[in-house]
Amino acid sequence: MASYEELIRYHDEQTWRDYFEKELGELYSAVKGFLDLRDELVASFSGRPVSEIIAESEEYKKMLFGGVVLEDGPFKERALAKFYAEVMGIRVKDLDKVISRLKEGVPLEDATQDIECEFLETDVVKCVKTIFETLKKIFFSLQNTIKIPEAKQYNALNAQSGLKALNDIINAARRLLPHYNPCSFFVISLYSIPRLFVMKQYSKLFDEGVMRMLKEYGIVLDVLLEPDIPVKEERQRRALLGLSRNSVGYTLWHLIMGKEGLFVIFTMKSIPVFFEEIANEFELYVKIRADELKKAVGGVWEQLTDVGHRLPWTSYGHSLERIPWSSYHIANYSVSCEGGSIVFRRYYRGYVEEHKIEYSRLMVFLAPAMFLGLAWLRPDESPSLSYYKWW
């Protein structure tokens, strides 16, 4: 695996200032603008009959009834009212009643005099709010280092503003994904990684000045695991490192890879209905990294296949809060180092179940995958080990 030293300018202070103020700042501005727009519309529509709202503005009428059809409805495939109802959670209450009245020839203004709007927390709105809370946490932590962005402004009297606001979020989020953004990849690669491996990829990472600068931007590493070796220097050299739990870097990992992070935007079924260019970016990411990983380990893979088969009991699914994607994970096991081995241990039906794997072989097996974001070994988390089966 070639060095990433030139590809990722992690040792350059301006790189990180631009990343947070411009790239992450663009996402913050778009997310805040989207939520502000929704709040403004909710405030404007609340407690009023729909007839009054649509009489006030033709643009409001488009938001609530654009693309509504009387037959085989309630909406056309990409109806504007469908977007506001199913994505932004702003919709006409009892729309079926309104449609039945319209079918009887009642004018829209009369059919909506006793009808109000309702406001729902859609999956998209929930996701955007969660992303915003995470972004606020990051920018609050760095408030003495970088500027906090301003919200984008969207015209609440323009029916296209909701689409524009969400499209801005999608574009800003895509630019931050780790297969497009070197800084994001750098953060992902440090979530858990053996010191020996990361030193080969980032030769300047442990320079005093670089570490000081990264700490200023919240990219901080902790020791997650050390081999059971009596010589301190050797323990440190072979240690498993990872982003500190309370650091900006750790929060960034969750912003990108977490259960309600940026990748989720590209897996929601309601969004591609309105934006044809949306692809499942996570599937693309895993494919790109898995292909790269197979090339990197091809020469030594036969020597390591037994390690994968010796991992303890695993499960497969989406249910864990920390790891949202379909992955193999080892849950309910403690992780410790004893002698030259890593020991996975759990209590199961009154018995102690143990699995031992040589420390160095497991690290060699996992290191390239951890670096590329296809595996994580975090003894301080549950599950302690998660991975996508790349072999």
User: Using 50, 70 and 90 to split pLDDT, how confident is the model at 316?
Assistant: very low
User: Using 50, 70 and 90 to split pLDDT, how confident is the model at 302?
Assistant: low
State the average pLDDT over residues 42-56: 96
* Residue 337 identity (one-letter amino acid): C
- pLDDT of res. 114: 94
- pLDDT of res. 319: 37
Between CA 115 and CA 99 the distance in angstroms is 12
Interval 322-381: pLDDT, tens:
444 446 667 678 898 998 899 988 887 888 888 888 999 899 888 999 999 988 999 988
Lowest mean per-residue pLDDT among 20-29, 59-68, 72-81: 72-81
pLDDT at residue 151 above 80? yes
Q: What percent of the chain has pLDDT over 70?
A: 90
Mean pLDDT of the chain: 89
pLDDT at residue 136 above 50? yes
Between CA 190 and CA 213 the distance in angstroms is 16
State the average pLDDT over residues 68-74: 80
pLDDT at residue 17 above 70? yes
CA angle 94, 95, 98 (to 5 degrees): 95
User: Using 50, 70 and 90 to split pLDDT, how confident is the model at 189?
Assistant: very high
Between CA 187 and CA 5 the distance in angstroms is 14
pLDDT at residue 318 above 60? no
- pLDDT of res. 332: 75
Neighbouring residues of 325: CB distance < 8 A, sequence distance ≥ 6: 263, 282, 318, 388
Q: What is the DSSP letter of 24?
A: I
- pLDDT of res. 76: 84
Polymer length in residues for the chain: 391
Nearest C-alpha neighbor of 149 from the set 229, 32, 36: 32
State the average pLDDT over residues 272-276: 86
Lowest mean per-residue pLDDT among 116-120, 194-198, 299-303: 299-303
Q: What is the DSSP letter of 68?
A: B
pLDDT at residue 2 above 80? no
Specify the 3-state DSSP secondary structure of 229: coil
- pLDDT of res. 3: 55
- pLDDT of res. 317: 44
pLDDT at residue 320 above 60? no
Between CA 32 and CA 338 the distance in angstroms is 49
pLDDT at residue 217 above 80? yes
State the average pLDDT over residues 281-294: 87
State the average pLDDT over residues 272-301: 82
pLDDT at residue 72 above 80? no
Q: 308: which strand partners?
A: none
CA angle 29, 30, 33 (to 5 degrees): 85
Structure tokens at 273: 């209905």
Interval 226-250: pLDDT, tens:
999 999 999 999 999 999 999 999 9
Other Cβ atoms less than 10 A from the Cβ of 40: the count is: 15
pLDDT at residue 305 above 90? no
- pLDDT of res. 250: 97
Lowest mean per-residue pLDDT among 22-31, 173-182, 339-348: 339-348
